[in-house]
Amino acid sequence: MQLRFYNSLTRSKDIFTPLDPHHLRIYACGPTVYDTAHIGNFRMAVVFDVLTRLLRHVYPRVTYVSNITDVDDKIMDAAVAANVPIEQITEKYTKIYNDDLQALKCLLPDIQPRATDHISQMINLCENLISRGHAYVAEGHVLFHVPSFPAYGGLSGRSRDDQIAGARVDVAPYKKDAADFVLWKPSTETQVGWDSPFGRGRPGWHIECSAMAEEHLGLPFDIHGGGADLKFPHHENEIAQSCCAHGHTHDLSYFAKVWIHNGFLTVEGEKMSKSLGNFTTAQDLLAKGVKGEIIRFALLAGHYRQPLDWTNHGVHQAKAQLDKFYKLLHAQDHVEQASPPHRVLEALADDLNTPKVIAELNALYNAGDGAGLKAAGALIGILQDDPRAWLGLDNMSDVDADWINDLINARTVAKKNKDFVMADSIRAELLHHGIVIEDTKDGTIWRRA
Ligand code: AMP
Ligand code: ZN
Tens of pLDDT along the chain (449 residues) come to 899 999 999 999 999 999 999 999 999 999 999 999 999 999 999 999 999 999 999 999 999 999 999 999 999 999 999 999 999 999 999 999 999 999 999 999 999 999 999 999 999 999 999 999 999 999 999 999 999 999 999 999 988 787 777 665 567 889 999 999 999 999 999 999 999 999 999 999 999 999 999 999 999 999 999 999 999 999 999 999 999 999 999 999 999 999 999 999 999 999 999 999 999 999 999 999 999 999 999 999 999 999 999 999 999 999 999 999 999 998 887 788 889 999 999 999 999 999 999 999 999 999 999 999 999 999 999 999 999 889 887 755 555 677 888 899 999 999 999 999 889 999 988 888 888 888 887 788 887 77
- φ, ψ dihedrals at 396, nearest 5°: -65, -20
Which among 11, 2, 1 is positioned nearest to 259, based on CA atoms? 11
Q: Would you call 419 helix, strand, or coil by DSSP?
A: coil
Pocket test for ligand 1, best of 93, 229, 278, 299 (most atoms within 8 A of CB): 229
Pocket of ligand 1 (CB under 6 A): 29, 31-32, 40-41, 43-44, 226-227, 229-230, 264-265, 271-273
Q: How many helices (H) and strands (E) does the chain have?
A: 16, 15
Q: What is the DSSP string of 132-165?
A: TTSEEEETTEEEE-GGG-TTTTTTTT--HHHHHH
Phi, psi of 10 (to 5 degrees): -95, -10
The whole-angstrom separation of Cα 271 and Cα 43 is 12
pLDDT tens across 162-192, in order?
777 766 556 788 999 999 999 999 999 999 9
Atom of ligand 1 nearest to the CA of 44: 22
Give the distance (Å) from ligand 2 centre to CA of residue 50. 19
Q: Which CATH number fits domain 4-262: 3.40.50.150, 3.40.50.620, 3.40.50.10950, 3.40.710.10?
A: 3.40.50.620
Distance (angstroms) between ligand 1 centre and the Cα of 353 equals: 21
Contact 377/340 with Cβ under 8 angstroms? no
Q: Of all protein residues, whose CA lies closest to atom 20 belonging to ligand 1? A: 264
Q: Which residue's C-alpha comes closest to atom 3 of ligand 1?
A: 273
Q: How far is the CA of 235 from the centre of ligand 2 (A)?
A: 6
| DSSP track, 287-337 | HTT--HHHHHHHHTSS-TTS-EE--HHHHHHHHHHHHHHHHHHHHTSSPPP
Which ligand 1 atom lies nearest to the CA of residue 31? 6
Residue 230 Cα to ligand 1 midpoint, Å, equals: 8
Write the residue with the smallest CA distance to atom 5 of ligand 1. Answer: 41
Q: What is the rounded radius of gyration, in angstroms, for the C-alpha atoms of the chain?
A: 27
Q: Which residues on adjacent β-strands are paired with residue 14? A: 5
- The reported pTM is 0.88
